[in-house]
Amino acid sequence: MQNAECRIQNGGARCPSALAVSVSMAFLLFVTACASAEELDAKQILEKVDAQYATIQTYDAQGTIVEDMNTPKGATRSETSFSMRLKKPNLYLISYEKKAPESRRRGAVWNADAKPFLYRSGVNAYWNIEGNDARALGDATGDSSGVAFTIPSLFLPVRNPHRALANRIAAPKLEKIEMLDGEECYVISGSSTVSKKQTLWISSKRFLILQSIRLIDLPREAPESSEMTDQEVEETLKLMGEDPTQEHKDGVRAKVKHYRELMKVAKLTGTICEHHMKISTPELAPRDFMFTVPEGTELREPSLGGFEMDEPDYLWRAMREGLVGAGIIRTALRVYDAKHDRKYPTLTAAKGYALAKVLGVNAEELEGEYLNPASFEVTSTSNEYTIKASWGAETYIIDHLGIEHGTCLTGQ
């Protein structure tokens, strides 16, 4: 972000009196800004933001998201442009286009008449999400780099109480007051549910968020987020339909430990900057929330059923399961190779329980919150193989040489 530098000049030379006035005015502005900051602490500012989004009835904005990620293979940058329209209680249209070094994709999530839809260009398909707004917005969150979560989770009534910004930002600190897009902004930072440090630029007049920067430090966050209490383990087993025996509990904890070990090699760090511009609260009608999918786009039945990806870091959590499953399959292929005269099985797009049976894998080991045995696919010959894990429009692909492909890479 660039700081404005103001100069007062007269015929190319500085005017002493004008300079004195400039310094005096700057001092007065600084004192005024500090006095304004002292009126409210960071927590109170966040509470006012929550109240403002709860009060306004419509929201219209355009913006950008810039993701700068660092891996051992080098730095990468992707840029997403988006437009957003919201109207209480449940009308919304969020469309976006993401440009990465080797890919470009578009997407949208919308509800114009109590029928939420999701569109993704990467798979040339769209889905009716069966009247579930929380799931529609959740499913779009990762694909949109978080834009389907940040403001909609504060504005739309489908949000849960814990999503209030004042509850979401831990130990908030008012860093400074700074101008952004011609508006005076409170700059507040703290740890959040999605980042160990999140910084917000909040309009001091409108109490709306103009910009959010999230720090991504995946391998350091993963171990803490993976710890599970006895109650959480038992609830997980209940969802899996398993009895909470000690053996099953140990099995769940072993999987979690495996997740942590795999995420240690991911080494994904960087920042995500989400910038909202041209924010207004106009009159909006249902027709303003219609989205027309490109001709030839296929309407599909929802294939990710049974969960709501309602946090912007869901992509990383799904990726964990993809890495775990791929690791299990790689190990099984090596065991098969050792038992069959150094030859892998011959498979063509084998997946699901059939794949597990060929490799002697317990299919339950490939079951997760986001992925299941059908999410994994193997194509192999006697001397090489390729493993593919898929979730939504995202893929993680690795071959027998350990070379990665797909939309999600660990950066090993």
Residues 291 and 324 in one domain: no
Q: How many domains does the chain have?
A: 2
Residues 164 and 196 in one domain: yes
Residues 143 and 95 in one domain: yes
Residue 260 is predicted with a pLDDT of: 53
Residue 159 is predicted with a pLDDT of: 57
Q: Is 350 left (phi over 0), alpha (psi -120 to 50) or beta?
A: beta
Residue 6 is predicted with a pLDDT of: 36
Please report whether residue 56 resides in a domain. Answer: yes
Q: Is the distance from CB of 65 to CB of 44 less than 8 angstroms? A: no
Residue 3 is predicted with a pLDDT of: 41
Q: Assign 307 to helix, strand or coil.
A: coil
Q: What is the mean pLDDT of residues 231-252?
A: 67
Among 309, 334, 362, the domain-final residue is 309
pLDDT at 306 over 50: no
pLDDT at 8 over 50: no
Give the CA count within 13 Å in the CB-facing half-sphere of 170. Answer: 7
H or E stretch including 325?
helix 314-339
Among 309, 338, 366, the domain-final residue is 309
Among 392, 412, 67, CA closest to 267: 412
Please report whether residue 326 resides in a domain. Answer: yes
Among 258, 279, 309, the domain-final residue is 309
Residues 76 and 215 in one domain: yes
Please report whether residue 233 resides in a domain. Answer: no
pLDDT, tens digit, for every residue of 11-68? Answer: 343 444 444 444 444 444 444 444 444 478 999 999 999 999 999 999 999 999 998 8
Residues 6+ apart with CB under 8 A from 77: 66, 67, 68, 69, 101
- pLDDT bracket for residue 84 (50, 70, 90): very high
Residues 77 and 142 in one domain: yes
pLDDT at 262 over 70: no
Residue 315 is predicted with a pLDDT of: 61
Q: How far apart (Å, rounded) are the C-alpha atoms in residues 113 and 124? A: 23
Among 342, 338, 391, 335, CA closest to 360: 335
Cβ neighbours, 10 Å, residue 408 = 21
Residues 88 and 165 in one domain: yes
- pLDDT bracket for residue 186 (50, 70, 90): very high
Residues 74 and 190 in one domain: yes
Least confident of 71-80, 121-130, 155-164, 396-405: 155-164
| CATH number, domain with residue 389 | 3.30.1300
Domain range for 368: 316-406
Q: How far apart (Å, rounded) are the C-alpha atoms in residues 22 and 6? A: 9
Please report whether residue 204 resides in a domain. Answer: yes
Q: What is the mean pLDDT of residues 322-333?
A: 88
Residues 208 and 355 in one domain: no
Please report whether residue 256 resides in a domain. Answer: no
- pLDDT bracket for residue 251 (50, 70, 90): confident
Q: Is the distance from CB of 197 to CB of 273 less than 8 angstroms? A: no
Please report whether residue 254 resides in a domain. Answer: no
pLDDT, tens digit, for every residue of 86-101? Answer: 999 999 999 999 887 7
Mean pLDDT of the chain: 78
Residues 291 and 326 in one domain: no
Residues 355 and 299 in one domain: no
| CATH number, domain with residue 160 | 2.50.20.10
pLDDT, tens digit, for every residue of 390-406? Answer: 877 678 898 888 887 87
Q: What is the mean pLDDT of residues 161-178?
A: 84
Please report whether residue 29 resides in a domain. Answer: no
Residues 155 and 300 in one domain: yes
DSSP 287: G
- The β-bridge relationship of strands 125-128 and 298-300 is parallel
Residues 212 and 351 in one domain: no
- R_g over Cα of the chain: 25
Degrees to nearest 5, angle at CA 241 with 238 and 242: 80
Helix-strand-coil split of the chain, %, nearest 5: 35, 35, 30
Residue 297 is predicted with a pLDDT of: 92
Please report whether residue 18 resides in a domain. Answer: no
Q: Is the distance from CB of 123 to CB of 109 less than 8 angstroms? A: no
Helices (H) and strands (E) in the chain, counts: 11, 19
pLDDT, tens digit, for every residue of 197-222? Answer: 999 999 999 999 999 999 876 544 43
Q: Which residue in the block uniquely carries the two structure tokens 């009608």?
A: 285
CB-neighbour burial class of residue 298 (10 A; exposed 0-12, middle 13-18, buried 19+) = exposed
